[in-house]
Amino acid sequence: MAPDASQPSRHTVGRLSLYRGLLDRLLGEGRSHVFSHELAALAGATASQVRRDLMAVGSVGSPVRGYDVRALADTIGRFLDAPEGQRAALVGVGHLGGAILAFFAGRRPHLSIVAAFDTDPQKTDRVILGCRCYQAAEMEKVIAAEKIDVAVLAVPAGAAQAAADSLVRAGVRGLLNFAPVRLRVPEGVFVEDMDMAVSLEKVAFFARHAGTADA
Amino acid sequence: MAPDASQPSRHTVGRLSLYRGLLDRLLGEGRSHVFSHELAALAGATASQVRRDLMAVGSVGSPVRGYDVRALADTIGRFLDAPEGQRAALVGVGHLGGAILAFFAGRRPHLSIVAAFDTDPQKTDRVILGCRCYQAAEMEKVIAAEKIDVAVLAVPAGAAQAAADSLVRAGVRGLLNFAPVRLRVPEGVFVEDMDMAVSLEKVAFFARHAGTADA
DNA sequence: TAGATTGTTAATCGATTAACAATC
DNA sequence: TAGATTGTTAATCGATTAACAATC
């Protein structure tokens, strides 16, 4: 497996995604160039970190004008995005699932939620917030048919592992997991956890012990 | 500031919160003892890591039976939780805000969302999902009156910094930020970002480059 | 030019992992 | 006892930071 010798770290990829969002905003404001320290301030990073991250994607800055905003956004896009685009599914159309659909509706066309699944017949077989909602039982079939390769899990804790198993069986290679459970997945499947309970407890802890583990 | 010489890291605090959730579940299943490697498997960590984390809170394991589930949950609780309890606010009662209220409703009593804020008069001055919803203009007054010390931000990107400023002015020391924006806060205020857009892009990237940066 | 920034490497920092004597 | 696990330290690993010559 020699194709891409040195993969960027999870941290770097996360920041690149963040930079791109910031660059899009700067473009909207009519900015044509940025310096690493400006991007750093906006991203909550250091200039050194920004330069290092941009180096990883093949940056094109000049010591006088900094980086061309549009060119940089394009470069990051070529690095992060699949050329053919990527399709995501949502499992669980409850409060949270609805919020997720609303959040991603109309965002980046190369990474959009194209199918949702739920067990509740009230919610299935119709379009919710612009997204077709299927019965959970159809999951494997639809995922194959729609060429979906990543999924967002917004089901209750008790249902998460079973849902993950189905998704992986259907060929999904990446999961964004909102359920407060650690998923067991085979090697090669990437899982990112968004555990609100854990995060709020972290915030509460460090708020009390203020100034000790600050950003 | 010598009271607590060596603060645990952000990672450790996050895992401790996770362990507690797992221990609660084990208690429900009638388990009385666990070994570090069992907890590790459930938490997606290593046994070594678990032992180290537990050491930080003053663990009480035995080489023969492992850790007493109830005692360990209590010890972690004493470490993580404020003895007087902690009170949280939610800002932004849209799709996501509603999901957050639903998620935290009836959870840990020592860390609960006791007030919500929104600018939409349709939503304010009533109780939503068990939580009193106030007008955003009343924020500083209510936060002081209700002794709130952490807040969850679920407002659109454009409104996040202003909301954070108000919250900090009112005395909030910790923010859980769902807005896809990096907040500028004074030293001593802890911010944890939950950026769904960034996280999904990370998942998409590593799903394509599967097996390279796996958990 | 002088000055600030870039690309890039070396030094620092912190977290994870491995190791092992002590324990029951 | 023999064997597995604990508490704890030392070694490893990786990411962040600092430094600096090259650039415009």
Contacts with B42 from chain A: Cβ below 8 Å: 182
Can you tell me the mean pLDDT for B96-116? 93
In angstroms, the separation between the Cα of residue B29 and the nearest Cα of chain A is: 13
**Predicted confidence (pLDDT) per residue in B165-191, tens digit:** 999 999 999 999 999 999 999 999 999
Q: Across-strand partners of B153?
A: B91, B177
Q: What's the pLDDT at B112?
A: 95
Find where tokens 């500083």 sit: B140
**Chain B contact for A62 (CB, 8 A cutoff):** no
A 101-130: CB under 8 A from B: 102-104, 107-108, 111
Task: Name, in order, each residue with C-beta under 8 angstroms of B129's C-beta and a sequence gap of 6 or more.
Answer: B98, B101, B102, B105
Residue B1 has pLDDT above 60, yes or no: no
The residue of A205, A209, A212, A214 whose CB has the most chain B CBs within 10 angstroms, and thus the best one to mutate to test that interface, is A205
Helix (H/G/I), strand (E/B), else coil: B132: strand
Question: What span, in angstroms and rounded, lies between the C-alpha atoms of B212 and B215?
Answer: 9
pLDDT bracket for residue B213 (50, 70, 90)? very low
Determine the distance between B184 (CA) and D15 (C1') in angstroms.
23
Q: Is the pLDDT of residue A2 over 90?
A: no
- Closest by Cα among A9, A79, A168 to B213: A9
Helix, strand, coil percentages (3-state) for chain B, rounded to 5, are: 45, 20, 35
Closest CB to A202 among B10, B108, B182 = B10
For the cut 60, the answer to whether the pLDDT of residue B57 exceeds it is yes
Tell me the C-alpha to C-alpha distance, in Å, between residue A45 and each of A18, A130, A192, B60: 11, 36, 21, 39
Distance set, CA A126 to CA A113, A134, A136 (Å): 15, 7, 13
pLDDT in tens, A8-38: 999 999 999 999 999 999 999 999 999 999 9
User: Is residue A3 scored above 60 in pLDDT?
Assistant: no
Query: What would the pLDDT profile of A148-192 be if each residue is shown by its tens digit?
Result: 999 999 999 999 999 999 999 999 999 999 999 999 999 999 999
One-letter amino acid for residue B158 of the chain:
G
**Confidence check: pLDDT of A6 > 90:** no
pLDDT (mean) for B147-169: 97
pLDDT at B5: 47
How far apart are alpha carbons B149 and B143 in whole angstroms?
8
pLDDT value of residue B163? 98
Phi then psi for residue B14, to 5 deg, are -60, -45
Pair B173, B189: CB distance under 8 Å: yes
Q: How far is the C-alpha of B123 from the C-alpha of A185, rounded, in Å?
A: 41
Q: State which residues between 164 and 203 of chain A bring their CB within 7 Å of strand C.
A: none
Torsion of CA A120, A123, A125, A128, to 10 degrees: -150
The confidence score (pLDDT) of residue A5 equals 47
The dihedral sign for the CA sequence B153, B157, B163, B167: positive
Nearby residues of B32 by Cβ (< 8 Å), 6 or more positions away? B68, B69, B70
CA-to-CA dists, residue A159 to A177, B205, B206, angstroms? 12, 26, 24
Mean pLDDT of chain A: 93
Task: Quote the longest CA-to-CA distance of chain A.
Answer: 60
User: Under a CB-based contact definition with an 8 Å cutoff, are residues B137 and B112 in contact?
Assistant: no
Assess B60–A contact: CB distance below 8 Å, yes or no: no
What order of strands is seen across the sheet that includes strand B86-91? B126-128, B131-135, B111-118, B86-91, B150-153, B174-177, B190-193
Instruction: Say yes or no to pLDDT of A212 above 80.
Output: no
- Protein-nucleic contacts, chain A 42-71 to strand C, CB < 7 Å: 47-48, 51-52, 54-55, 59-64, 66-67
Minimal CA separation from A63 to chain B, in Å: 26
Q: Which of A42, A176, A196 sits opposite B182 (nearest CB)?
A: A42
User: To which H or E segment does residue A118 belong?
Assistant: strand A111-118
Q: How many helices (H) and strands (E) does chain A have?
A: 8, 9
Chain mean pLDDT for chain B: 93
Residue A59 confidence class, pLDDT cut points 50, 70, 90: confident
- pLDDT tier at A215, thresholds 50, 70, 90: very low
> Reduced to 3 states, what is the DSSP secondary structure of residue B211?
coil
pLDDT tens track for A123-144:
999 999 999 999 999 999 999 9
Confidence of residue A7 (pLDDT cuts 50, 70, 90): confident
Q: What is the pLDDT of residue B159?
A: 97
* CA dist., res. B38 & res. B27, Å (int): 14
Give the pLDDT of residue A210: 73
Interchain contact, B204 vs A103, CB within 8 Å: no
* Phi and psi angles of residue B120, each rounded to the nearest 5 degrees, phi first: -75, 115
* C-alpha–C-alpha distance, residues B174 and B172, integer Å: 6
pLDDT digits 0-9 by tens, B200-210: 999 999 999 97
**Protein chain A, residues 109-138, with a C-beta closer than 7 Å to any atom of nucleic acid strand C:** none
